[in-house]
């Protein structure tokens, strides 16, 4: 019986709230008496290794790294999208957390854009500063893995 995997060894992926990683192996492990196939993922930002059952990968929101085609749309949203500056910080923090949990690069870029704009107007509180730093690092690390991206395109997000 042939097994079809969503990702292959060597694929670059994005794991929501953790950043980018590389599929290093697909291993069979026995847990609680049950054998399962696992993706072994090396996370680049935290230098951590994660194992996820192959059968649960679809529900995990893990996705491939964005491609160069989606980048132009992302740049447009980043530069011209509207920010909601009227939300109180607790509500804004919840909205931004929900966006980051989706794992979508567009949502992450919106969080970075909005917090970057807010940061230019006033100092971010410690929770939002940490969120900005993590989201920004995750976004930049993914951008660096896009085939065909230029350094000038990456600088747009800095």
What's the pLDDT score for residue 4?
A: 56
Nearest to 83 by CA among 71, 96, 101, 67: 96
What's the pLDDT score for residue 82?
A: 86
Rounded to two decimals, the pTM is 0.83
What's the pLDDT score for residue 139?
A: 94
Block mean pLDDT (10 aa), the chain, length 158: 72 90 94 90 91 88 89 89 85 95 92 94 94 94 90 88
Question: Which residues lie closer than 8 Å to 125 by C-beta, 6 or more apart?
Answer: 89
């Amino acid at each position: 019986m042939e097994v079809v995997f969503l990702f292959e060894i060597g694929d670059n992926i994005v794991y929501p709230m953790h950043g980018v990683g590389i599929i290093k192996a697909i291993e069979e492990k026995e847990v609680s008496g049950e054998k399962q196939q696992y993706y072994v993922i090396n996370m680049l930002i935290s230098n951590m290794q994660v194992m996820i059952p192959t059968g649960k990968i679809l529900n995990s929101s893990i996705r491939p790294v964005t491609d160069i085609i989606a980048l132009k749309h992302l740049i447009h949203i980043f530069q011209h999208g509207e920010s909601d500056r009227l939300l109180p910080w607790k509500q804004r923090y919840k909205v931004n957390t929900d966006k980051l949990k989706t794992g979508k690069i567009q949502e992450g870029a919106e969080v970075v854009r909005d917090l970057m704009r807010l940061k230019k107007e006033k100092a971010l509180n410690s929770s939002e500063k940490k969120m900005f730093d993590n989201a920004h690092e995750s976004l930049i690390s993914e951008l660096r893995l896009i085939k065909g991206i230029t350094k000038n395109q990456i600088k747009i997000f800095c």
